[in-house]
Amino acid sequence: MVTTERLRLRGLEFEVDVRGGGGEHGVVLLHGFPQSSASWDVIGDALAGHGVRSWAVNQRGYSPGARPDGVDPYRLRELVADVVALCDAIGLPAVHLVGHDWGAVVAWAVAARHPERVTSVTALSVPHPAAFAAAIADDPVQREKSSYLEYLIAPGSEDLLAADGAAALRLGFGTAVPEEVADRHIARLLPPDAMKSALNWYRAIGTDWAAVPPVTVPATLIWGTEDIAVARTSADLCPEHVPGGLDLVVLDGRGHWLPEEVPAEVTAAILRRLAHPPGA
């Protein structure tokens, strides 16, 4: 059973889907673009079935009460501070962080800058941001896969992406994301300023990704060989930035939308992390 809570964090109101009982583990689930907390419905239910409590947050720009104006409020430092504030609000000194796409970037950055608040990281699709930045700089395949970034940050791109009920974004999901879940994702991006706020995450990147420190907590990266946005090079570079130990899970034939496409495999990876805390 899911309960949607509205939590006041750092002067903004975030919508958070809460599942599961009060077990010893707490899992925070961070979605990507152009998605929402609905990415985690199946995984959150499965974790609850194992007695694991989870919090799936609609992040800054996606919750109607958390859409500040401008680009600077969407810098990585602000996204990280939101997660730390969430941990404070739910009363957990440390959590298992799980993130997909942009949510993975945030999870890596939280673990790097606040390791005392993170027991483990499970990142889907996107490796450590510094590894990803290095791949964009040096690997032609990754540069080609990342060429869409220029489109997303261009002035007026929010209007183009919102056109025809965000038809372009729906097309990007392909068949990996069920239609009813895609509808919930898109519904969050169609209100005035919502798409612009989501795209401001990209406009605010600057040098933030390359500057993320190494992650010293145990981490898992799950990457699909058919990912449309992330090449193998960046996944292979990831261990250099995770001296705490990286479990790289390569899913042959799988694409980018892993929470919806392979929820059973993702759930299993999360449960493995929960069963093997640091020092176990």
Quick: pLDDT tens for 222-276.
999 999 999 999 999 999 999 988 999 999 999 999 999 999 999 999 999 998 6
Predicted local confidence at residue 276, as pLDDT: 63
Quick: pLDDT tens for 18-61.
999 877 789 999 999 999 999 999 999 999 999 999 999 999 99
Q: What is the mean pLDDT of the chain?
A: 95
pLDDT higher than 90, residue 197: yes
Quick: pLDDT tens for 122-148.
999 999 999 999 999 999 999 999 999
Predicted local confidence at residue 277, as pLDDT: 54
Predicted local confidence at residue 21, as pLDDT: 81
CATH 2.70.150.10 given to domain 2-275: no
Q: Is this structure's pTM higher than 0.95?
A: yes
Quick: pLDDT tens for 107-121.
999 999 999 999 999
* Residue 279's pLDDT band (cuts 50, 70, 90): very low
For residues 169 and 179, give the distance between their C-alpha atoms in angstroms, rounded to a whole number: 12
| Domain range list for the chain | 2-275
